[in-house]
Structure 1
Amino acid sequence: MTFLKKLSPFYYLLLFYIIVSFVLRIVLFFHPITQTSFTWTDTLSLFVFGFVSDFFVFVLLSGFLWVYLIFISNSKYYTPYGYIIFGLLLALLLYVSIGNTILNEYGSALPKIAIAFLSVKTFLFGLLLFLPKYRNQIRFWLFSFVIFIYVVLILQNGISEYFFWNEFGVKYNFIAVDYLVYTNEVLGNIMESYPVIPLFSALFIISGLVTYFIVKKSKNYIQSIPAFVEKIKLSGIYLVLFGFSLLAIPFLSSKENAHNVFANELQANGIYKFYLAFMHSELDYFKFYKTVPNSEAYTQLKKQISSISGETTWRQIQNEATENHKNVVLITIESYSAEFMKMYGNEKNITPFLDSLANKSLVFTNLYAVGNRTVRGLEAVTLCFPPTAGESVVKREDNKNKFSTGSIFKQKGYAVKFMYGGDSFFDNMGDFFTGNGYEIVDKKTFEPNQITFANIWGVCDEDMYHKAITEMNKEAAANKPFFNHIMTVSNHRPFTYPNGKIDIPGDAKSRDGGVKYTDYAMKKFFEMAKKQPWFNNTVFVILADHCASSAGKTELPADKYRIPAMVYSPGFVEPRKYTNLMSQIDVMPTVFGLLNFDYQSKFFGQDVLKPDYKPRALIATYQDLGLIKDNVLTIISPKQTVKQFQLTLKPNQKIGSDFQIHYDQIPVTKERMDLVNETISYYQTASDMLKKKKYQKIN
C-alpha cells in the first residue's frame, strides 16, 4: 500500500469530524435561539475560521489514535519478548492492585482507573500473545472498536453541543464543566427531558454504519502494518501537526472578535471552549481586567456608597425607628423571568397567584438578576455582593465565614435555615450555607411519607413547602424569630410535577407548565401559612434566582436579566411599586431597612428606599461584568476590554411604563468614562475584598 493509505484512519475520521462540525454550524446558524442577522463577512469568517479550527482541534484529539496505531506490531509478541512484556504487565497490575503506590497518595478514583486500564491492557496483550492464530481477527476487532469509539464521541459531542446551544445559546462554558461534576443530576435531567432511548439508538446505528465505512477504507493499515521507518515518518508528520496545532488553536480563538456574539460562538470550536472553561474556572481580576489604583477604585465606590471610608465597604447602618424582629421567609424561584408575569406583558395567565400577590406587595418593578446561574442568585441575596469574575463564591474553596445575610440575622437572635428540595451537594450549596452558619433542610432530611413527587432535581415545590411549614411551626414553638431561605426546584427542565394540579399535564415537560405549577405550589404555601399563628408576624420576600434564558445578541442582553421581586407582609409593608433601577444584591439590605435593623455592614448592596441610594444594576456572566446606569450598559471583559451600549427602549404599548423590559443595545459612539470607572470600581473592589479576605463576617 502507498504511504498515503497508511494515513487513512486519520483522514477518514478527520473528514467525518469536519462534516459533523459543518452540519452542526449550519443547524445552529438557523436555530431559533440564534436571534440575529449575520453580515457576509461574519458568515464567511465563522465557517472558514471554524473549519480551520476544527482541523487543528482534531489533530490534538487524534493523539490517542496515533499512540494506538504506532504500537501495533507483531515483533513484540515474538519469543522471549512477548512473555517478558506480559510478565511485566502482570507484575505492574498486581503492584497497583495490592501495593501502596503513588496513585493511592492522590486517592479518589485514580487507583481504580489505573487498575481497570492495566487489567484491560494485560488481558488483551495476553490474548494476542497466546492466541497467534486469531491475532489478526482480534486486532481487526480492536481496530474497529477504537474507530467506533472515535465516531461515537464525535457524534455525541455534536449532539451535546446542539442541546447546550438549545438551552443556553452558546458553545460550552462553565456550565458544561459543572455538568461533568454533577453527573447524577445532569444525566437524570437529560433522561427526563429528552427521548434518550430513540436518540441513543439512532446514535449507535449511525456510528456503526460510519465505523463500517471507515474500517472498510482503512483496514489495510492493520493488514499490512507499517514498517518501523514508515512509523517514524508517520510520527514525524503527526508531531509537526500537533505542535503547529498548539499554536494555531489559540490564535484562531483570538479571531473570534466580531461584534455579533452569535458569530463568535458559532466560529468557536466547542471542545476547545470546554477546555478553556475547565482551565479558567477562576479569573484573576487583576490579571485580566482593566484596573485603576486600588485607592482610586475605593474613592470611586464611595461616590456610590457615601458612608464607606478607606479600602473597605465597612459602614455603620443606623435607623431612627425601633428594630422589628419579624420572621423573614425568603423564596428564590428557579429560572423565573419577569416576562412570565402578566404585569410584564405575558398573556398566557401562567402566574395568576403571583400576579395577585404583587398587587398586595412592595414590588420592585425594575430589578435585574446579577447572573444566569442559581449560584449567582444565591450569592447575590446571601452575600449582597457583586458577581466577580470566574465562579460564584458559592462554589469556591474560600466560601466560608463570609459577611452574609445569615450572619446579620444570627446577630439579631434568629434561627437561620436554608431549605432546598434537592440535594444541597449540588452546586456546592450545602458546603456554602453550612460554612456560613445556616442549618440545611434538603431532600436528605425528608421522611419517605413527606415525598409525594420527585424528579432528578428533587421533591416538588408542594412537598418542599409542606416541609417548610413544619419547620417553621417548630421554630415558632421555640419562641425565637426565624429566617428561612427557600430555594425552589420545580421550574427547571424537565418541568415535571404532579398531575392533576394545573391545566397543563405534569408529564408534558412544558416550561409554561413548570412556571404555572411553581405558581400553584406557592399559592398552596400561602394558604397553609395564613393558617399558622406566626403568619402575621412574618415578612415574605419573593424573587427569582435568574431568568429562564440568558442567550441574546450581545454579551449581556439586558432583557435576559430582568426578574420579578416583591416583599409581602400584610399590615406591615405597604403595597406599592418601587420603579427605580436596582440590583438583586439590594433586596436584603432593603428588607433590613424595612425591619429598622441597626448593624455594621460590608454589603455592596444598599437599601434602595434610603434617599442616598443611586440607581444602578449589576449583571454578569462568568467573564463579562456589566453595570447598567443612565440607560447605558458598560461591560468590562478579559484582556482589559471595555464595551458600552446605549439602551433604547422598544416600547410595548400593551403594558405600563414601569414594566417595560426590551431595549435595543446600540454601541455608544462616545465612551462614558465616568460609567467605565464606576463599573471598574464595583468589580475591582469586590475582587480585592475577596482576595484579601476583607469580606469575612464581623464577630
Structure 2
Amino acid sequence: MIQRVTFAGILGLTWILFFQFCRLIFFFYQTSHGETSTVSILAEAAWRGLRMDVSFAAYLLVIPVFLLSFTAQNWRWFQTFFWGYSILIAGLIALLVTSDLEIFRAWGFRIDTTPLRYLATPQEAYASMSSSPLLFLVIVFLFLGYLIYKFSVLVINYFLSDFTKTHQLLTPVVFLLLTGSLIIPIRGGLQLAPMNQSAVYFSNQPFANQLAVNPAWNFFSALVNDTGRKDNPFETTSNEYATELISSLFHPVNNSFSLLRQDRQPTNVLLIIWESFTAKAVGSLGGLPDITPQFDSLTKEGLLFSSIYASGDRSDKGLVALLSGFPAQPITSIITIPTKTASLPSLPRQFKSANYQTSFYYGGETEFANIKSFLLQQGFDRIVDKKEFNPADMNSKWGAHDHVVFERLLNDLDSQKAPFFSTIFTLSSHEPFEVPAAQAIAGTDVEHKFLNSLHYTDASLGEFIRKAKTKKWWQNTLVIIIADHGHPLPKNKISKHSQFHIPMLWLGGALIPSGEICDSLGSQIDLAATVLGQLHLSTKDFRWSNDLFLPARTPFAYYSFNNGFGWTNPGGHVVFDNIGKRETEKEGVLSAHDVKLGQAYQQLVFADFLNR
C-alpha cells in the first residue's frame, strides 16, 4: 500500500517540478525576444503559479490514482497502462509547452484554442509559423518529451517493480478516496471560487501575470469553456443598464457633411485592406520614417485619418469589423461560427442593393480561418483567391504576392461594370514576411523583415495607384486604404494601445479633400456607416458602426484582445485585463466611468455574439 501511495505522490511532485522547469524555459525564451522582466518576477511568478501547476498535476493524477484501486493482487497490466499513458501525456504536454513559446511571442497570450481554428488549412498555418525558429522548437519538444520518458522509466524501475500484494478491500477504498480528494488541488483549494487564471495573477505587469499561467491548464480550460458557451463571462451589470450607458454614445442619425464630388456619381468604392498595417511604421502618423514612403506621399493627395483603431488583433476579426461593422470579441472569433456570421450585416450586400457590382481579391487561401464562408455570406459577386492565379505567381508561402494581385485587380477593373465595390486584401506583410523584392530595410531579425515586407507592399500599392490614376474609372472612384489589424512590431512603441493604432487614408478622383487630416477618433467598425453615409445608403443594420462625420458624434474607440479590452476617448485611453480585473495601461484623464463604459460595451458585444 505504501509503495502505491508513494508512487502517486512522486508522480504528482515530478509533474509540478516539470511545470516549473517549463516556466523557466518560457521566461528565457520570451526575454530573449524583447519581453522585459527580472529574476525576482520569475521567482514570484513561480510561487504564484504553483497553485495552477498543482491543479493540472492533480488532473493528470486522476486516471492513474483511480486505476491503482484495482492493483491489489495484480499490477502488471498497470505497468503497461502507465507506459502508454506516459507516452501520450509526454507528447501532448511537450507539444503544448513548445507551441506556447512561439504563440506568446507572436500573439502576446498563452496558448488557448485559437490555434485550433487554423488546423483546417495546414499549409497556411505552416506559412504563418515559418518565421519561427522551427528547428529550435523541435529540439525543445524532443527534449521535454525525453525528460518525461526518462522519468517514466525510473518510476517503473524503482516504484512499480516494488509493488506487492495488498488488501483486496482496503486498497480500492483508499485509492477511491484519494481519487475523490484530488478535487481539492484541482480546484486550487477549499475557497469558494475554483481555479482560474486570476488566481495566479499578482502584478500590474502583463508579462509577469502571463508567466504565472500554466500553458497546459490554460489550453484545456479554454477548450472546455469555449465549447458551446451560453453564458456571458463579461457581464458586470444588467444588460438594461449597460444598454443605457452605451446608448448615450450613439445619437440619432442625421446628415453628415459630404466629401464626395456630386458631379461624379455614382461613386465606385475600392477598399484596400493592408495586412498588419500598423501606424507605428507610418512616418506621416508619427511612426518610423521611410518605411512606407508611397503611402506617406499619397496622404498629400487625400484625407488621412490620424486616430483610427483596429477592433481586434487578427485578420479574421478585422475583416468582420470592416465588412460587417461588428466589434471583435475577446475570447473567440465569430467568423468560426457560420451560423452566427450569417446574421451579420453586410457592406457588400448594402452596395448590391444599390446596383453595385461587388468583388473580393486575395492572393492566398480564403478557406484559412474560415474566411471563405464569411465572404460568401457577405454576398460578394466574385471572389478571386489563389486558385485563380498562375502557379508561376505562387511565389509566397501564402500564395500570390501583393504586386501580382494588385496587377490582376487593375486589369479586371477595366472591364468591371460600374458602379462597383471592390475589396483587395494584401498578404505579403503577414508572417513569415517574405517578399519577392530586394531588401530595402537592412536587418535580418523578425522586426526588420516585417518592416521590409511593409515597404514592399507600400511599393506595390504606390505602383497600383499610379497606374489607376490613368484609368477612366479613377475619376468616379473613392479609394480607402486601411489595415486589418495592427501589430506588436516594431518595438519603437511597446504599449498595448499602440498595437491597435492603424492608418486609414481616403483618396481618389471622387474625393474632394486633398492633403488634409481628420483627427476624429474612431474604430474600424465605423468605416461601414461612414462610407454608406457618404453615398446616402442605409446604415440602420450597422448598429455598432458610428459615422465619423456626424456633427453630434461622440468620439470613442473600443478594441479587444485575448481576454482584455481597450477604451479610448479624447481624454486618453485605458487597457483592462479581464482576468486580473485591473487596468494594465492608462494614459490621460480617464475616470472610473470610462472603464465602466468599456466593460458595458464589451458585455453588450458579447451578448450580441451569443444571441446570434
Correspondence 1:422 to 2:368: no
Q: Residues 340 and 346 of structure 1 are in contact (CA less than 8 Å); yes or no, is this contact kept in structure 2? A: yes
Q: 2:48 aligns to what?
A: 49
Q: 1:376 aligns to what?
A: 317
Distance (Å, rounded) in 1 between the aligned partners of 2:522 and 2:552: 13
Correspondence 1:530 to 2:469: yes
Correspondence 1:307 to 2:246: no
Q: 2:478 aligns to what?
A: 539
| 1:355-366 map, 5 Å | 355-366=296-307
Which one of 424, 429, 434 corresponds to residue 486 of structure 1?
Answer: 424
My pick for the range that moved more, 337-346 or 382-391, is 382-391
My pick for the range that moved more, 379-388 or 66-75, is 66-75
My pick for the range that moved more, 226-235 or 378-387, is 226-235
Match of 1:17, as an amino acid?
A: F
Distance (Å, rounded) in 2 between the aligned partners of 1:452 and 1:247: 51
Distance (Å, rounded) in 2 between the aligned partners of 1:15 and 1:677: 39
Match of 1:602, as an amino acid?
A: F
Match of 1:329, as an amino acid?
A: L
Q: 1:88 aligns to what?
A: none
| 1:57-136 map, 5 Å | 57-63=56-62
Q: 2:278 aligns to what?
A: 337
Deviation at 1:27, TM superposition (A): 2.1
Distance (Å, rounded) in 2 between the aligned partners of 1:686 and 1:143: 46
Match of 1:23, as an amino acid?
A: L
Deviations 1:546-585 (A, max 9, x none): 1112999xx9832121111111114633221011222212
Match of 1:429, as an amino acid?
A: I
The root-mean-square deviation of aligned C-alpha atoms, in Å, is: 4.1
Q: Residues 556 and 567 of structure 2 are in contact (CA less than 8 Å); yes or no, is this contact kept in structure 1? A: yes
Deviations 1:385-435 (A, max 9, x none): 333454333233311143222222111111122322222222221111211
CA 1:532/1:144 → structure 2, altered by over 3 Å: closer, same or farther?
A: same
Q: 1:268 aligns to what?
A: 213
Q: 1:251 aligns to what?
A: 195
Which one of 413, 433, 441 corresponds to residue 495 of structure 1?
Answer: 433
Q: Residues 474 and 509 of structure 2 are in contact (CA less than 8 Å); yes or no, is this contact kept in structure 1? A: no
Match of 2:370, as an amino acid?
A: N
> Secondary structure at 2:175's aligned position in 1?
helix
Which one of 499, 510, 519 corresponds to residue 449 of structure 2?
Answer: 510
Correspondence 1:407 to 2:349: yes
Q: Residues 567 and 573 of structure 2 are in contact (CA less than 8 Å); yes or no, is this contact kept in structure 1? A: yes
CA 1:12/1:610 → structure 2, altered by over 3 Å: closer, same or farther?
A: closer
Deviations 1:75-128 (A, max 9, x none): 699xxxxxxxxxxxxxxxxxxxxxxxxxxxxxxxxxxxxxxxxxxxxxxxxxx9
Q: Percent identity?
A: 20
My pick for the range that moved more, 584-593 or 237-246, is 237-246
| 1:580-591 map, 5 Å | 580-591=520-531
Which one of 519, 522, 529 corresponds to residue 458 of structure 2?
Answer: 519
> Secondary structure at 1:614's aligned position in 2?
coil
CA 1:226/1:629 → structure 2, altered by over 3 Å: closer, same or farther?
A: farther
My pick for the range that moved more, 60-69 or 586-595, is 60-69
Q: Residues 277 and 502 of structure 2 are in contact (CA less than 8 Å); yes or no, is this contact kept in structure 1? A: yes
CA 1:76/1:206 → structure 2, altered by over 3 Å: closer, same or farther?
A: closer
Q: 1:104 aligns to what?
A: none
> Secondary structure at 2:182's aligned position in 1?
helix
CA 1:19/1:640 → structure 2, altered by over 3 Å: closer, same or farther?
A: closer
Q: Residues 546 and 563 of structure 1 are in contact (CA less than 8 Å); yes or no, is this contact kept in structure 2? A: yes
Q: Residues 529 and 546 of structure 2 are in contact (CA less than 8 Å); yes or no, is this contact kept in structure 1? A: yes
Distance (Å, rounded) in 2 between the aligned partners of 1:205 and 1:621: 32
Distance (Å, rounded) in 2 between the aligned partners of 1:325 and 1:491: 33
Distance (Å, rounded) in 2 between the aligned partners of 1:495 and 1:289: 39
Q: Residues 332 and 487 of structure 1 are in contact (CA less than 8 Å); yes or no, is this contact kept in structure 2? A: yes
Extract unaligned runs of 5+ from structure 2.
Answer: none
Q: Give TM-score, length-normalised by structure 1.
A: 0.74
Q: Residues 582 and 617 of structure 1 are in contact (CA less than 8 Å); yes or no, is this contact kept in structure 2? A: yes
CA 1:200/1:280 → structure 2, altered by over 3 Å: closer, same or farther?
A: same
Distance (Å, rounded) in 1 between the aligned partners of 2:136 and 2:111: 24
Distance (Å, rounded) in 2 between the aligned partners of 1:22 and 1:642: 24
Deviation at 1:592, TM superposition (A): 2.9
Distance (Å, rounded) in 2 between the aligned partners of 1:73 and 1:527: 82
Q: Residues 634 and 642 of structure 1 are in contact (CA less than 8 Å); yes or no, is this contact kept in structure 2? A: no
Deviation at 1:11, TM superposition (A): 5.0
Q: Residues 496 and 507 of structure 1 are in contact (CA less than 8 Å); yes or no, is this contact kept in structure 2? A: no
Deviations 1:484-524 (A, max 9, x none): 12222211111122244756699989212222222222223
Deviation at 1:31, TM superposition (A): 4.9
Q: Residues 627 and 635 of structure 1 are in contact (CA less than 8 Å); yes or no, is this contact kept in structure 2? A: yes
CA 1:149/1:389 → structure 2, altered by over 3 Å: closer, same or farther?
A: closer
Deviation at 1:372, TM superposition (A): 1.1
Distance (Å, rounded) in 2 between the aligned partners of 1:202 and 1:683: 38
Q: 1:170 aligns to what?
A: 109
Distance (Å, rounded) in 1 between the aligned partners of 2:458 and 2:238: 46
Deviation at 1:333, TM superposition (A): 1.3
CA 1:246/1:510 → structure 2, altered by over 3 Å: closer, same or farther?
A: same
Q: 1:454 aligns to what?
A: 396
CA 1:327/1:506 → structure 2, altered by over 3 Å: closer, same or farther?
A: farther
Q: 2:98 aligns to what?
A: 159
| 1:166-205 map, 5 Å | 166-180=105-119, 182-190=121-129, 192-197=130-135, 199-201=137-139, 203-204=141-142
CA 1:692/1:436 → structure 2, altered by over 3 Å: closer, same or farther?
A: same
Deviations 1:3-25 (A, max 9, x none): 16644872574265234234235
Distance (Å, rounded) in 2 between the aligned partners of 1:559 and 1:425: 30
> Secondary structure at 1:398's aligned position in 2?
helix
Deviation at 1:363, TM superposition (A): 0.3
CA 1:13/1:471 → structure 2, altered by over 3 Å: closer, same or farther?
A: farther
Distance (Å, rounded) in 2 between the aligned partners of 1:474 and 1:225: 81
Q: How many residues align?
A: 597
Q: Residues 23 and 211 of structure 2 are in contact (CA less than 8 Å); yes or no, is this contact kept in structure 1? A: no
Q: Residues 272 and 480 of structure 2 are in contact (CA less than 8 Å); yes or no, is this contact kept in structure 1? A: yes
Correspondence 1:436 to 2:378: yes
Match of 2:298, as an amino acid?
A: L
CA 1:211/1:274 → structure 2, altered by over 3 Å: closer, same or farther?
A: closer
Deviation at 1:251, TM superposition (A): 3.3
Distance (Å, rounded) in 1 between the aligned partners of 2:142 and 2:180: 34
Q: Residues 496 and 506 of structure 1 are in contact (CA less than 8 Å); yes or no, is this contact kept in structure 2? A: no
Deviation at 1:2, TM superposition (A): 6.4
CA 1:66/1:692 → structure 2, altered by over 3 Å: closer, same or farther?
A: closer
> Secondary structure at 1:219's aligned position in 2?
helix
Q: Residues 626 and 679 of structure 1 are in contact (CA less than 8 Å); yes or no, is this contact kept in structure 2? A: yes
Distance (Å, rounded) in 1 between the aligned partners of 2:531 and 2:67: 63
Extract unaligned runs of 5+ from structure 1.
Answer: 78-127, 129-135, 309-314, 649-665, 694-699
Q: Give TM-score, length-normalised by structure 2.
A: 0.83
CA 1:284/1:611 → structure 2, altered by over 3 Å: closer, same or farther?
A: farther
> Secondary structure at 1:574's aligned position in 2?
coil
> Secondary structure at 1:633's aligned position in 2?
strand
Distance (Å, rounded) in 2 between the aligned partners of 1:630 and 1:214: 59
Deviations 1:617-669 (A, max 9, x none): 11222543443124243567769968596524xxxxxxxxxxxxxxxxx9x6x
Q: Residues 289 and 639 of structure 1 are in contact (CA less than 8 Å); yes or no, is this contact kept in structure 2? A: no
Q: Residues 541 and 566 of structure 1 are in contact (CA less than 8 Å); yes or no, is this contact kept in structure 2? A: yes
Distance (Å, rounded) in 2 between the aligned partners of 1:606 and 1:267: 39
Distance (Å, rounded) in 2 between the aligned partners of 1:380 and 1:60: 39
Distance (Å, rounded) in 2 between the aligned partners of 1:76 and 1:284: 44
Q: 1:113 aligns to what?
A: none
